[in-house]
C-alpha cells in the first residue's frame, strides 16, 4: 500500500504539472477563476504582469514535453489508484479534470459526505465549469447547512459567471460565518470592484492581506488599485500600500512598476524617476533600469535625456561580456524600437 501511495502521488503530480507546472493549489484556483471570468465578460487581470522594460526570462520548462507524455500514460492509473485512497490524499496534487474523476468515484461510495461535494465543486471551478460547481454546492448545503465553505465556493462560482451581486451576497454570508477567512475577503473585494464600489473593495483587500499568513504581490497590487480607483485623493494612500508590500515581501518588480505607472499617470514624473533609482535590483539589470527611466523621461517631455538614457542602456547591453542571449536580445529590440519611434504626440505614461 505504501508503494501504491507513493506511485499515485507522483503520477498525480505529473498530471497536475502537465497543465500548470509549478503552480500551487491556490494559484491554480486563482488562475482558473480569472480564466472562467473572462468567458463571462469579467476580467481579472494578473496585476503582476506589467509590461515594462524588465530583464527577466521564463525558465523551468525544459522538460515539459517529457513530463506531458508521462502524464498521459499515467492518467488512467491515477484514477484507478485513487479509488483506494481517501479523497484528500488522492486529490492533493491532481489536475482539476483528474480530481473531478477521482472525486466522482469517491462520491459513488460516500454520497453523504458534504466535504466531497465541496471538493468536487472546487475542482469543477478550477476546471472552468462554475455551473457544475454550483450544483455540487447545493448538495453540500443540503448535507451541511451552516458550513462557511459553501457560500465561499458559491461566491467564487458566481463571480466566475459574472454575477457580481449574488456573489457579493454569498461572500458576505461566508465572512459572517468565518470572519478570519482571507480568501472570502479577497473574493468579495473583487465582486465589489465589479460592482463599482472601490472604497469597500479596498477595505476588503486590506483585510485579506492582514489575514493572510503569506500575502502575495498581487494582493498588495489589488489593494493599491482599488484605492487608486476610489479617486485622486487616495493616490498617496495607494502608493503607501505598495511601499508596505515592498517592506513585507522584499524587492518586487510588479510593486515597483505599479508605483512608477501610478505616478506617471498623475504627472509625478520626477517621483517616478526617483522610485526607479531607489529600486535598482527590481529591473534585473542596469540596462533595463535605464530603459525604464528613459520611458519616464520621454513621457515627461524630456526627449534629449530620454534618448541619452536609451543609448546608454544599449551601450551597456552591447558591452556586457556574459549576457543572457535571449534576455539581452529582447531588451535590445525594445530599446531599438523606442529609439526609432521618437517622442509621442502628447506626453503620457
Contact 249, 293 (CB under 8 A): no
Residue-range definition of the domain harbouring residue 337 = 279-349
User: Helix 164-177 vs helix 149-160: angle between axes, to the nearest 10 degrees?
Assistant: 160
pLDDT digits (tens, 9 = 90+) for 98-119: 999 999 999 999 999 999 999 9
Rounded to the nearest 5 percent, the helix, strand and coil shares of the chain are 75, 0, 25
- Looking at 145, 169, 199, the residue that finishes a domain is 145
Render pLDDT for 241-267 as a digit per residue (tens, 0 to 9): 999 999 999 999 999 999 999 999 999
Last residue of a domain, one of 86, 116, 145: 145
pLDDT of residue 174 exceeding 60, the answer is yes
78-93: average pLDDT: 48
The rounded mean pLDDT for the chain is: 80
Neighbours of 76 (CB within 10 A): 12
Does the reported pTM lie above 0.75?
no
Return the pLDDT at 42: 54
pLDDT above 70 coverage of the chain, percent: 69
Q: Can you tell me the mean pLDDT for 206-234? A: 95
Q: What is the pLDDT of residue 349?
A: 38
64: in domain:
no
Question: Of the ranges 50-54, 261-265, 276-280, which one carries the lowest mean pLDDT score?
Answer: 50-54
Confidence of residue 92 (pLDDT cuts 50, 70, 90): low
Residue 38 lies in a domain: yes
314 is a domain residue:
yes
Instruction: Provide the pLDDT confidence category of residue 80 given band limits of 50, 70 and 90.
Output: very low
Question: Does any domain span residue 88?
Answer: yes
- Confidence band for 14, pLDDT divided at 50, 70 and 90: very low
In a domain, 121, yes or no: yes
- Highest-confidence range of 6-20, 84-98, 305-319, by mean pLDDT? 305-319
327 lies in some domain: yes
The residue-averaged pLDDT of 9-20 equals 38
Domains in the chain, number:
2
Of 283, 11, 129, 149, the closest CA to residue 139 belongs to 149
pLDDT reported for residue 230: 93
Torsion of CA 250, 185, 240, 331, to 10 degrees: 50
Residue 319 is assigned to a structural domain of this protein: yes
Q: Which of 145, 162, 191 is the last residue of a domain?
A: 145
What is the pLDDT at residue 322?
Answer: 62
DSSP 5-29: HHHHHHHHHHHHHHHSTT--HHHHH
Q: What is the pLDDT of residues 314-323, one digit of tens each?
A: 999 888 776 5
Residue 35 sits in a domain whose CATH number is 1.25.40
- For residue 195, tell me if it sits in a domain: no
Exposed e or buried b per residue across 95-131, where buried means at least 16 C-beta atoms within 10 angstroms of its C-beta: bbbbbbbbbeebbeeeeebbbbbbbbbbbbbbbbbbe
pLDDT of residue 33: 61
CB burial readout 258-267, b (16+ within 10 A) else e: bbbbbbbeee
With a cut of 90, say whether residue 202 has pLDDT above it: yes
Amino acid at each position: 500500500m505504501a508503494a501504491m501511495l507513493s506511485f499515485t502521488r507522483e503520477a498525480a503530480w505529473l498530471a497536475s504539472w502537465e497543465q500548470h507546472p509549478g503552480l500551487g493549489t491556490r494559484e491554480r484556483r486563482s488562475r482558473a477563476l480569472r480564466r472562467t471570468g473572462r468567458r463571462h465578460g469579467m476580467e481579472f487581470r494578473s496585476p503582476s504582469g506589467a509590461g515594462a522594460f524588465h530583464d527577466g526570462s521564463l525558465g523551468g520548462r525544459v522538460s515539459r514535453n517529457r513530463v506531458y507524455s508521462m502524464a498521459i500514460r499515467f492518467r488512467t492509473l491515477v484514477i484507478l489508484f485513487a479509488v483506494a485512497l481517501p479523497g484528500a490524499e488522492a486529490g492533493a496534487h491532481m489536475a482539476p479534470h483528474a480530481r473531478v474523476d477521482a472525486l466522482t468515484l469517491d462520491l459513488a461510495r460516500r454520497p453523504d459526505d458534504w466535504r466531497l461535494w465541496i471538493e468536487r465543486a472546487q475542482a469543477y471551478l478550477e476546471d472552468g465549469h462554475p455551473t457544475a460547481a454550483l450544483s455540487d454546492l447545493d448538495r453540500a448545503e443540503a448535507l451541511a447547512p451552516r458550513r462557511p465553505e459553501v457560500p465561499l465556493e458559491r461566491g467564487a462560482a458566481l463571480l466566475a459567471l459574472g454575477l457580481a451581486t449574488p456573489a457579493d451576497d454569498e461572500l458576505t454570508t461566508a465572512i459572517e460565518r468565518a470572519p478570519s477567512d482571507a480568501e472570502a475577503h479577497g473574493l468579495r473585494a473583487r465582486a465589489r470592484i465589479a460592482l463599482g464600489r472601490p472604497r469597500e473593495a479596498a477595505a476588503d483587500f486590506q483585510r485579506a492581506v492582514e489575514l493572510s499568513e503569506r500575502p502575495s504581490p498581487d494582493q498588495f497590487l489589488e489593494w493599491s488599485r482599488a484605492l487608486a480607483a476610489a479617486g485622486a485623493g487616495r493616490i498617496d494612500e495607494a502608493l503607501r500600500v505598495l511601499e508596505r508590500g515592498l517592506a513585507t515581501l522584499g524587492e518586487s518588480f510588479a510593486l515597483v512598476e505599479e508605483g512608477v505607472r501610478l505616478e506617471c499617470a498623475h504627472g509625478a514624473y520626477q517621483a517616478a524617476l526617483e522610485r526607479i533609482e531607489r529600486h535598482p535590483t527590481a529591473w534585473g539589470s542596469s540596462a533595463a533600469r535605464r530603459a525604464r527611466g528613459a520611458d519616464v523621461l520621454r513621457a515627461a517631455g524630456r526627449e534629449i535625456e530620454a534618448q541619452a538614457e536609451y543609448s546608454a542602456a544599449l551601450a551597456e547591453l552591447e558591452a556586457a561580456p556574459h549576457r543572457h542571449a535571449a534576455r539581452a536580445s529582447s531588451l535590445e529590440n525594445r530599446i531599438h524600437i523606442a529609439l526609432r519611434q521618437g517622442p509621442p504626440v502628447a506626453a503620457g505614461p
